[in-house]
Amino acid sequence: MDKFTLNLFEEAELIQMGSEILCTGAMVLRGFALCDETAIFKALDTITIAAPLRYMVTPGGFRMSVAMTNCGSYGWVSDHNGYRYDAIDPNNGQSWPNMPDVFLHLARRAALCAGFDNFIPNACLINRYEPGTRLSLHQDKNECDFDAPIVSVSLGIPAIFLWGGLRRADRPIRVPLLHGDVVAWGGAARLHYHGVLPVKPGYHALTGSCRINLTFRKAI
Ligand code: MD3
Ligand code: FE
């Protein structure tokens, strides 16, 4: 039995909670972040004061519609030179804000629940979607170690996540992600194409009209 195979009791427990396995190595943990929401938003305030959300520019010269910032030892950045992880925030020449303990612990617990032992993320990318914002189908390939999973935390207004296959042409399934949902992706699922449909207008008490997504990665 591989590490992704749950026994009947474990599976029953997850179904009970509304969680599901999207495919080998990709597990949705419904509401997993809800217990920590207050601490998460407090930490987000501190992070975005030091490293404000900003619209990065693609190598092709287009302004991205998702606003981004980072915390942790490394941050994902994009500019006319390309995409990369960098220890320095290009906006201020300083290190990115520290990854708060509540973030690190949440990511590690979620990874463990999904069968990934001892996940040590050193980067947390923070994405903000305003209504109408989408993220086109892509693979996450800037990280050095594809054996490490990625953990994603959805906050605020809902979005429809697109979950494709290993080839761009594989037709994606649609997975609604709500406030507090956490997904862990690794193993065979790590290099699947994925994206986000244009976010519908909405309101959430903690984010206003936006959706926020945190992704925890072992960048380097
Ligand atoms: C599956 N973010 O930042 S999170 C990204 O909702 C990104 O902001 C989306 O895709 C968002 O790169 C989706 C879910 C996600 C993140 C990383 C993955 C799914 C993934 C990496 C590999 C496979
Ligand atoms: Fe991605």
CA dist list (Å): 75 to 21, 54, 86, 125:
29, 13, 5, 7
What's the CATH fold of domain 8-217? Jelly Rolls (2.60.120)
* Mean pLDDT of the 69-78 span: 98
Nearest ligand, CA of residue 126?
Answer: 1
Q: What is the maximal distance between C-alpha atoms in the chain?
A: 51
CA distance 102 to 118: 16
Please indicate whether residue 70, judged by its CB atom, sits closer than 6 Å to ligand 1: no
- Paired tokens of 147: 């054996």
CA distance 193 to 126: 19
Is residue 122's pLDDT more than 70? yes
* Mean pLDDT of the 126-131 span: 98
Tell me how far the alpha carbon of residue 82 lies from the centroid of ligand 1, in angstroms.
19
CA distance 122 to 111: 14
The pLDDT tens digits of the residues spanning 175-211 come to 999 999 999 999 999 999 999 999 999 999 999 999 9
Nearest ligand, CA of residue 135?
Answer: 1
Please indicate whether residue 217, judged by its CB atom, sits closer than 6 Å to ligand 1: no
Residue nearest to atom 11 of ligand 1 (CA): 213
Which residue ranges make up each domain of the chain?
8-217
What predicted TM-score, i.e. pTM, was given to this entire model? 0.94
Please indicate whether residue 162, judged by its CB atom, sits closer than 6 Å to ligand 1: no
27 pLDDT tier (thresholds 50, 70, 90): very high
Question: Minimal CA–CA distance to 86: which of 47, 142, 43, 153?
Answer: 142
Please indicate whether residue 207, judged by its CB atom, sits closer than 6 Å to ligand 1: no
Pocket of ligand 1, candidates 152, 179, 193, 218: which has the most ligand atoms within 8 Å of its Cβ, to mutate?
A: 152
3-state SS string over 171-215?
CCEEEEECCCCEEEECHHHCCCCEEECCCCCCCECCCECCEEEEE
Is residue 12's pLDDT more than 70? no
Helix axes 37-50, 101-113, angle to 10 degrees: 130
